[in-house]
């Protein structure tokens, strides 16, 4: 299998993948138990929806504010050292969450520690994504990104289930302690990676022979973004699919609508596991139709947006936890396809000196739209109550059609533009 072959033949990528695997496993441990803890602390208060949304926004908004600096750091400094520092600091912060599990009085501390954790995390993902073209060859980028996406999804599924079980059997403190230890192990694995002096992947659009000089500032990155519409289009994808966030509704459905286990931990674990499974199989299925070209990847992103809209529609019609899990799985399939292929397009088209800042902009767009979506959903849940939850889901299904239509328009414009530029280049050479 291509994925196993990649891991056995490229030891540096295998270590980076292993670091991602263990840290994500711990992350989903803590996500499940902290979500349940917040729900239990706010039960009967009348602000449960906004409390859950506040937790999710605390994971999104601080990284968004940090992105301009994070991207510059990832392009100016040693990316490997940035990853190690991020892991070690997150290990300490997660230990701090242990002090919040004693009483509802510590609820504000949960948000403080989460904010600190994700401020530090904001450096990790741009640096990790920017490292991948350095340790992967061009033909390995789709396989490597798919494996990374599948790992995120698999750890979501496995972490959701095991996190719920560990919390039920050994308590929330044990789950948080495991999370802290996974960051330490991740740091050790990253320290063992050897980064080549020059990227193994060719820079994006291989026919472009002259590299653009980077000043390695944030404004320089913005200028690059504005002058390269093909890169801007790829960066739109994660933001576009985040216009309808599922996280708040998934937590509310798991703890209020279809409830299994104490505080809904079991039902939440099932739904997160379904999300993870869907995110695993999404790109595995669509990879069969890919030839690694940007042209085909853009069209497969259309399929991803369609899956998202379909998943929301089935979600709104779900009469049981089983059908809801299927809907969550379909929605996750689309999101995973889009996430994977938009990352590959950026890695193929952007030269190494700009990768950190482009991925920071990529994640910033995702976090900004996701934060707004989470806040709107949380306010809607509190405003309309249990009777309005289904209407919120149907509204999400309708809203999910908007980025699908926009993306169809975008790729049509890009292809016309690229064809026109190709003709102009041919005429120039012929006339020269």
Of the candidate ranges 48-62, 96-110, 234-248, 363-377, the one whose mean pLDDT is the lowest: 48-62
| 75 within domain boundaries | yes
Q: Which domain holds residue 304?
A: 8-194+217-427
User: How do residues 127-137 score in pLDDT, each as one tens digit?
Assistant: 887 888 888 87
Model-wide pTM > 0.75: no
pLDDT (0 to 100) of residue 202: 53
Can you give the CATH number for the domain in which 370 is found?
A: 1.20.1250.20
Q: CA–CA distance from 326 to each of 237, 248, 283 (Å)?
A: 24, 17, 17
Please check the confidence at residue 120 and state whether its pLDDT lies above 80. yes
User: What are phi and psi for residue 208, nearest 5 degrees?
Assistant: -80, 110
Q: Residue 204 in contact with residue 350, Cβ under 8 Å?
A: yes
Please check the confidence at residue 408 and state whether its pLDDT lies above 70. yes
Please check the confidence at residue 431 and state whether its pLDDT lies above 50. no
Q: Residue 428: pLDDT band by 50, 70, 90 thresholds?
A: very low
| 432 within domain boundaries | no
Helix (H) or strand (E) run with residue 331 in it: helix 321-349
Burial of 422 (0-12, 13-18, 19+ CB in 10 A): exposed
Q: CA–CA distance from 211 to each of 162, 204, 206, 346, 349 (Å)?
A: 47, 10, 10, 16, 12
pLDDT (0 to 100) of residue 429: 33
Q: Which residue has the tokens 């509190």?
A: 382
- The C-alpha R_g of the chain, in whole angstroms, comes to 21
CA distance linking residue 241 with residue 237, whole number of Å: 6
| 185 within domain boundaries | yes
Q: Residue 392 in contact with residue 381, Cβ under 8 Å?
A: yes
Q: Residue 208: pLDDT band by 50, 70, 90 thresholds?
A: very low
Among 145-159, 195-209, 210-224, 367-381, the range of highest mean pLDDT: 367-381
| 199 within domain boundaries | no
Of the candidate ranges 8-12, 250-254, 385-389, the one whose mean pLDDT is the lowest: 385-389
| DSSP secondary structure letter of residue 317 | T
pLDDT (0 to 100) of residue 405: 94
Written as one string, the DSSP assignment of 171-218 is: -HHHHHHHHHHHHHHHHHHHHT----SS-SSPPSSTT--SPPPP--SH
Q: Once rounded to an integer, what is the mean pLDDT over residues 334-341?
A: 91
| 200 within domain boundaries | no
Q: Residue 264 in contact with residue 36, Cβ under 8 Å?
A: yes
Q: How many domains does the chain have?
A: 1
Burial of 168 (0-12, 13-18, 19+ CB in 10 A): middle
Q: Once rounded to an integer, what is the mean pLDDT over residues 85-114?
A: 85
Q: What is the average pLDDT score of the chain?
A: 80
| 3 within domain boundaries | no
Q: Once rounded to an integer, what is the mean pLDDT over residues 223-239?
A: 89
pLDDT (0 to 100) of residue 157: 64
| 412 within domain boundaries | yes
Q: Residue 425: pLDDT band by 50, 70, 90 thresholds?
A: very low
| 1 within domain boundaries | no
Q: Residue 161 in contact with residue 269, Cβ under 8 Å?
A: yes
Among 231-235, 240-244, 248-252, the range of highest mean pLDDT: 231-235
Q: Residue 282 in contact with residue 329, Cβ under 8 Å?
A: no
User: How do residues 306-323 score in pLDDT, each as one tens digit?
Assistant: 999 999 999 988 888 889
CA distance linking residue 18 with residue 15, whole number of Å: 5
Q: CA–CA distance from 124 to each of 9, 159, 167, 239, 337 (Å)?
A: 25, 20, 27, 19, 22
Written as one string, the DSSP assignment of 32-91 is: HHHHHHHHHHTTTSS-HHHHHHHHHHHHHHHHHHHHHHHHHHHHHS-HHHHHHHHHHHHH
Q: Residue 259 in contact with residue 249, Cβ under 8 Å?
A: no
Q: Residue 307 in contact with residue 337, Cβ under 8 Å?
A: yes
Helix-helix angle 229-241:218-227, to 10 degrees: 100
264 CA to centre of own chain: 24
Please check the confidence at residue 299 and state whether its pLDDT lies above 70. yes
Q: Residue 424: pLDDT band by 50, 70, 90 thresholds?
A: very low
Q: Residue 73 in contact with residue 151, Cβ under 8 Å?
A: no
Q: Residue 328 in contact with residue 246, Cβ under 8 Å?
A: yes
């Amino acid at each position: 299998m291509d994925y196993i072959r990649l891991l056995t033949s490229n030891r540096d990528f295998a270590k980076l993948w292993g670091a991602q695997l263990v840290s994500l496993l711990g992350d989903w441990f803590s996500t499940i138990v902290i979500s349940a803890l917040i729900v239990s602390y706010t039960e009967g208060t009348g602000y449960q929806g906004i409390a859950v949304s506040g937790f999710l926004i605390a994971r999104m908004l601080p990284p968004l504010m940090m992105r301009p600096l994070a991207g510059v750091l990832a392009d100016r400094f040693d990316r490997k050292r940035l990853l190690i520092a991020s892991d070690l600091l997150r290990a300490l912060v997660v230990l701090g969450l242990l002090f919040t599990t004693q009483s509802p009085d510590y609820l504000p501390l949960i948000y403080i520690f989460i904010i600190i954790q994700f401020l530090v995390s904001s450096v990790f993902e741009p640096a990790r994504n920017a490292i991948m073209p350095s340790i992967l060859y061009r033909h390995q980028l789709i396989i490597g990104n798919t494996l990374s996406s599948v790992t995120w999804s698999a750890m979501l599924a496995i972490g959701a289930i095991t996190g719920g079980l560990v919390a039920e059997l050994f308590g929330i403190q044990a789950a948080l302690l495991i999370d802290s230890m996974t960051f330490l192990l991740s740091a050790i694995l990253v320290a063992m990676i050897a980064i080549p002096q020059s990227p193994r992947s060719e820079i994006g659009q291989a026919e472009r022979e002259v590299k653009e000089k980077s000043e390695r500032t944030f404004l320089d990155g913005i200028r690059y973004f504005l002058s390269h519409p093909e890169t801007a289009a790829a960066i739109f994808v994660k933001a576009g699919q985040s216009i309808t966030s599922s996280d708040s509704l998934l937590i509310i459905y798991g703890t209020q609508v279809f409830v299994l286990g104490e505080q809904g931990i079991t039902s939440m674990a099932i739904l997160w596991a379904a999300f993870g499974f869907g995110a695993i199989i999404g790109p595995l299925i669509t990879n069969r139709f890919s030839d690694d070209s940007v042209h085909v990847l853009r069209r497969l992103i259309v399929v991803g947006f369609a899956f998202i809209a379909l998943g929301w529609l089935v979600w709104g019609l779900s009469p049981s936890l089983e059908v809801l899990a299927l809907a969550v799985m379909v929605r996750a399939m689309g999101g995973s396809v889009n996430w994977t292929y938009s990352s590959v397009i950026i890695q193929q088209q952007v030269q190494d000196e700009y990768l950190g800042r482009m991925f920071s902009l990529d994640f910033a767009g995702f976090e900004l739209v996701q934060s707004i979506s989470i806040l709107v959903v949380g306010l809607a849940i509190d405003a309309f109550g249990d009777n309005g939850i289904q209407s919120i889901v149907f509204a999400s299904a309708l809203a999910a059609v908007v980025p699908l239509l926009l993306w169809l328009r975008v790729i049509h414009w890009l292809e016309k533009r690229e064809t026109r530029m190709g003709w102009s280049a041919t005429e120039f050479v012929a006339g020269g």
